[in-house]
Amino acid sequence: MRNLGFRNALLGVGAALLAGSALWGDAAAGMAAFKKGDYQAAFKEWKAAADKGQPEAQYDLGLLYAKGLGVQRDLQVAQQWYEAAAAQGNAQAEYSLAQMYAQGWGIPATDASTLRWMQMANGSDGDNQDDPGWLAIDGYGTATDFTKAAYWYRLAADQGHAEAQYDLARLYSDGKGVPRDHTQAFKLAQMSAMQGYAPAAARLGWRYETGRGVEKDESQAFFWWTVAARHGEKSAEKSRIELAGRLPPAVVAAAEQKAVAWRPTKPTIAKK
């Protein structure tokens, strides 16, 4: 399970909250407290804003519950706040709900063994954003439902959420929750990669090399693997080097030059 979206997206939400502090001062104060590591103060401020119906604060409050920061970790309450934010069109909340349904997250209050696990988990460093242990609880709380996951991924993807586009592409590739469709998977991965999401760029490299969902093109495969590697996707480097050995030096040089000059593009979101 990847957990890439939570920290980066939260910081992005922070900028939006600070920009709108005249209207939602308590939400902005919550972000300021969060950045200082004062999670209890962040909870207090975000709860006040969330109760007023502010969707970014509702998502942020859900994240505190999901991570157990400043409050007892409770994935079911986290889901409730995500749903409140998603109902107002918050893309990150939509993505988080999709992740919940794709992974089967949640803790039932009636399961004593799970409660013991939860108490031990909450005894660890709550700020360890890279600790995936709390995610690996298959079959509890939110049941795995790829159809619902695809639904929420789609809503977020339609708003230009790069990770949602990538994860929805994976569902289309595997035929989970949606009919298997490599062409659609390619299009979604391409939209994600164009925003600079490195895993999607690496996936494009694989698709161009194998011809899955797109006409086979090894020069394009090399280009996207180079883009992925330059944006931090370590797994792409090996594939890039292996493919370079099969391509004419001039093709390699041209693709590398193109990758160096390449810049992510912001998606254009159609107004509804």
- The string of DSSP letters for 14-41 reads HHHHHHTTTT-HHHHHHHHHHHTT-HHH
Using alpha carbons, select from 150, 185, 159, 154 the residue that is nearest to residue 267.
159
Long-range CB pairs of 223-227, under 8 A, 24+ apart, other chains included = 223/255, 223/258, 223/259, 224/193, 225/201, 226/255, 226/256, 226/259, 227/193, 227/198, 227/201, 227/259, 227/262
Q: What is the pLDDT of residue 266?
A: 85
Q: What distance in Å separates the CA atoms of residue 23 and residue 17, rounded to the nearest whole number?
A: 9
Length, in residues, of the chain: 272
The pTM of this model reads: 0.77
Whole-number average pLDDT of the chain: 81
Retrieve residue 259's tokens.
Answer: 């990758």
Residue keyed to tokens 């020069």: 219
Task: Please tell me the class of the 4-128 domain.
Answer: mainly alpha
pLDDT band, residue 243 (cuts 50/70/90): very high
Task: Please tell me the class of the 146-261 domain.
Answer: mainly alpha
Query: Is it true that 4-128 and 146-261 share their CATH fold?
Result: yes
Q: What distance in Å separates the CA atoms of residue 118 and residue 161, rounded to the nearest whole number?
A: 31
Q: What is the pLDDT of residue 270?
A: 57
C-alpha distance from residue 169 to each of 48, 99, 146, 202, 233 (Å): 37, 14, 13, 13, 18
Domain boundaries, the chain: 4-128, 146-261
Retrieve residue 35's tokens.
Answer: 């950045």
Residue keyed to tokens 């308590």: 26
pLDDT band, residue 141 (cuts 50/70/90): low
Could you tell me which residue, 177 or 129, shows the higher pLDDT?
Answer: 177
pLDDT band, residue 208 (cuts 50/70/90): very high
Using alpha carbons, select from 164, 137, 130 the residue that is nearest to residue 149.
164
Q: What is the pLDDT of residue 40?
A: 93
Judge whether 16 and 54 are in contact, CB under 8 Å.
no
H or E element, residue 223: helix 218-230
C-alpha distance from residue 214 to each of 189, 195, 267 (Å): 11, 19, 21
Q: What distance in Å separates the CA atoms of residue 104 and residue 84, rounded to the nearest whole number?
A: 19
pLDDT in tens, 55-77: 999 999 999 999 999 999 888 89
The arithmetic mean of pLDDT across residues 88-106, rounded, is: 90
